[in-house]
Amino acid sequence: MHESAAQIFISALLANNFVLAMFLGLCPFLGVSARLDTAFPMGVATTFVMLVASLCAFGLNLLLSSLHLEFLRLISYIVIIASAVQLVEMVLKKRSPTLFRALGIFLPLITTNCAVLGVALFQTAREYDFLQSLAFSLGGGAGFTLALVLMASVRERLQLSDVPGIAQGTAMTLVLAGILSLGFMGFAGIGS
């Protein structure tokens, strides 16, 4: 079975949304989604890291496979991701110190965002070619941003409503995420 790049993109964006269907990248999803003006840049930064990580992982996988060093795959992927995050951090610090402060601890934590490592691991497991990997990482990143922005919009509205005491905080966010995920199940079948 050979999927086209467009199919992979749509599938990663909607039907198999990284956050809401595959449970990748939940920590920033729960942590940074309180406000819209930090959620969107966070999504874009993560997408960029995903893109870099995916392309590097693709090249690296070719190299490691030709040398029969597959067992080093995981370690090399994580080192690449950490370097990419460092790069994003330096650029952001220089271009937009305000945003850099707003994202705070969650910026270096992109390294431990499973969505980023997930992209690299899944594309290896599914044996995507270069174009497919590109579409997969872009779709995954866009899907992550979409989920983050949707969640942030809902949570901003939520501040105006009267939530019962015990449901405040993480519990409410999780129930909301469940409802969003329920909605995204409606996309099942698209892109496959």
Partner 1 sequence: MNLGQAKTFDEFMEGIWRQNPVFVMALGMCPTLAVTVSAINALSMGVATTFVLICSCLLVSLLRRVIPKEVRIATYIVIIATFVTVTDYAIQAISLTLYDALGAFIQLIVVNCVILGRAEAHASKVSPLTAVINAAGMGAGFTIGLLALGTVREIFGNGTLFGISLFGANFQPWVIMVLPPGGFFVLGGWLLLFAWWAKRRDKAALPADKAAEGHQHA
Interface residues toward partner 1, by CB under 8 A: 20-27, 30, 71, 74-75, 78-79, 82, 108-109, 111-114, 116-118, 121-122, 125, 165-175, 177-179, 181-182, 185
Q: How far is the CB of 186 from partner 1 (least distance, A)?
A: 11
CA atoms of 63 and 69, how far apart (whole Å): 9
Are residues 151 and 176 in contact, defined by beta-carbon separation less than 8 angstroms?
Answer: yes
Smallest separation, CB 27 to partner 1 (Å): 6
**Cβ pair 133, 54 in contact under 8 A:** yes
Minimum CB separation of residue 119 from partner 1 in Å reads 10
Residue closer to partner 1, measured from CB, 76 or 95: 76
Q: Could you give the residue ranges of the DSSP H alpha helices within the chain?
A: 5-10, 26-31, 36-67, 73-95, 97-103, 114-125, 130-158, 170-184
| 82 or 149: CB nearest partner 1 | 82
CB nearer to partner 1: pick between 54 and 111: 111
Query: What is the Cα–Cα distance from 87 to 81, expressed in whole angstroms?
Result: 10
Q: Measured from the CB atom, is 65 or 96 closer to partner 1? A: 65
CB of 73 to partner 1, least distance (A): 8
CB-facing half-sphere around the CA of 127: CA atoms within 13 A: 3
Shortest CB 11 distance to partner 1, Å: 15
Nearer to partner 1, 6 or 174 (CB): 174
Q: Rounded to whole angstroms, what are the CA distances from 30 to 20, 57, 120, 174, 186?
A: 12, 27, 22, 8, 22
